[in-house]
Structure formats: structure tokens, C-alpha cells
Amino acid sequence: MRMGDERESRNVDDRRATSGRSGGGLPSMGTMMMLWPIVKPLLRSKFGMLLIAAGVGAYMMGYNPLALLGMGGSSVSRPVDKAKDEKQAVFIKKVLASTEDIWKKQLRGYREPVMVLYRGSTRSGCGHASAQMGPFYCPADQKVYLDLSFFDELAKRHGAPGDFAQAYVLAHEIGHHIQNMQGTLAKVQKAKQSWGGSSKKANALQVKVELQADCYAGAWANLAHKQFNILEAGDVEEALRAASSIGDDTLQKEAGRAVRPDAFTHGSSKQRLEWFRRGLKSGDIRQCNTFG
């Protein structure tokens, strides 16, 4: 993917130096408040006190006990390859700038979102953010949250390496920002609330949201290549591998579970491929109506 001479976006909140720290210091007040409902009942017994002491000891040694609860970053504080990390940061900032240039030209009144780069864990307008959650868009503060370690997981765990695979991930999240501006996310949330406890209906609607964001990502790739000539041989295949590798059916199989379409929240590998391809072929977000 050719991004060498392109500009870097300034809409970046870089928290990599301050987020997700473990070892050598105390948790933040926000983290302590978040843990209080869990800690409070443990204080009533000797066993609970021992658990707290063990957790504090693990934290001070560099382990993150929050990861055991699904609330923190990686369980061990691993050294960061700063040169590689910075190279990835520069690249993804350039991709963000490309989405800004394309969507400002295509969409009247487009408001540029902010991308938050962090390590391990941080706060978002939608609550606690951790590396295990993967990249996500928060409508409340109109920011994309991204721990760059996700790209290593994408390559090693999901078999989808490559810079264009990374660009696809960000372009998908920017697709959610467009949906937020269009009012799509608000309508979907309202519909989910009206259905009460029907998770099956809510999941099916969320799949449409995710597939539309895939289509928007494909449309961006089409338009960005026409304007900046960014695509090289093999780039499209990288994005297609990424889309396929994180389909719900593929992830369920990898986890050793039976495939349950009613539990899908992002769509099958086939669906994700189809909608990304549709956007890539047309370059027109009007062709991305997954709700029709």
C-alpha cells in the first residue's frame, strides 16, 4: 500500500505513553472506583482479603489482574518495540487522513472524528476500553479507539497480515462514524430498545450495521485509490483475508463452538466479503444499503 508521501492526520489523541500501565505504580482513581463493587464484598472475609492482596502483588509485579475479569489490557506487561509501534502509528495516521480527504469531498458537512491510540486500556465516552475489545467507534464522543497491538493479533491469530488489512480495519470504524452522522446508529439503538429482551432481533440488526460499515470501507478504498493511487498488488487480497478471518462463523469455529447464525453480530465471512467487495467495486455508499 503506497502511503509514503501522504500527510498524517492531526485528529489523533495519542495516549500510548500514558494508558494501560502496569507495574511500578498505583491504579488510577477511575480504575479504583470501577473495581469498588467487586472489592467491597471481598473485604468481609479473610479469603477475600487474601485475594485482594494477591491482586495488588500481581499488579506491582507487572501483571494485570483486570485481564482475568475481562476489564484490562494484556495480562503481562510486555516490552513494546517502539520503532515498529511508531511506524504503525504513522501509517494509520496517514490512513485516517485519507479517510478525511475522501469523505469531506463525498459527504456534505462531514465532521472529522478523532482517533485515540492507546496501549492496554483507557477511558472512552462509551466506558472502559481495553485491548481485548479490539478497535471500536464510540458514538458518544465520536472517536475511534485503537490499540495497535490488535494488528499483531490480526496477523498472527487470524492470519491476515498486511498494511491494507490494517487500513480496512480503520476504514470500517470510520464507516460507523458516517453511520452516526447519518443517524443510522441512533435509529438502530432505538429499535433495539423497543424490542426489549429480543437478542436475536437485535443481533440481526447489528449485523446490518456492521456489513454496511464494511461496504463503506470498500467504497473508501475505491475512491482513495482513484485520488491517491494507494493500492498495490496483493492489497485487496489482504483486506479480503481480514474481512473473512473476522466473520462471526469463522470466529465461532476457531473458539471450538458450533456456528450459530442467531448469535452473529458482525456477519458471516461470506457476508463481510460480499459487502466489502460491493463498496470496493462501486465506490458509492448509496450501494451500501444493507437495511433494504
Give the tens place of pLDDT for each residue, 83-134: 999 999 999 999 999 999 999 999 999 999 999 999 999 999 999 999 989 9
| Same domain, residue pair 48 and 89 | no
Q: Between 10 and 49, where is the model more confident?
A: 10
C-alpha to C-alpha distance for 146 and 269, rounded to whole angstroms: 22
Q: Give CA–CA dist 127/17, Å, rounded.
A: 20
Residue 252 forms part of a structural domain: yes
* 156 and 52 within one domain: no
CA gyration radius, the chain: 20
* Per-residue pLDDT at 69: 44
* Number of domains the chain is built from: 2
Q: What is the pTM of this model?
A: 0.80
* C-alpha cell of residue 242: 481480514
Of 191-195, 214-218, 224-228, least confident by mean pLDDT is: 191-195
Residue 186 lies in a domain: yes
The answer on 125 and 43 residing in a single domain is: no
Expressed as residue numbers, the domain containing 280 is 80-287
250 and 144, same domain (yes or no): yes
Residues 108 and 173 in one domain: yes
Q: What is the pLDDT of residue 53?
A: 72
Helix axis angle, 199-228 to 235-245, nearest 10°: 170
Shared-domain flag, residues 267 and 154: yes
Residue 20: inside a domain, yes or no?
no
Residues 39 and 146 in one domain: no
Classify residue 37: in a domain, yes or no.
yes
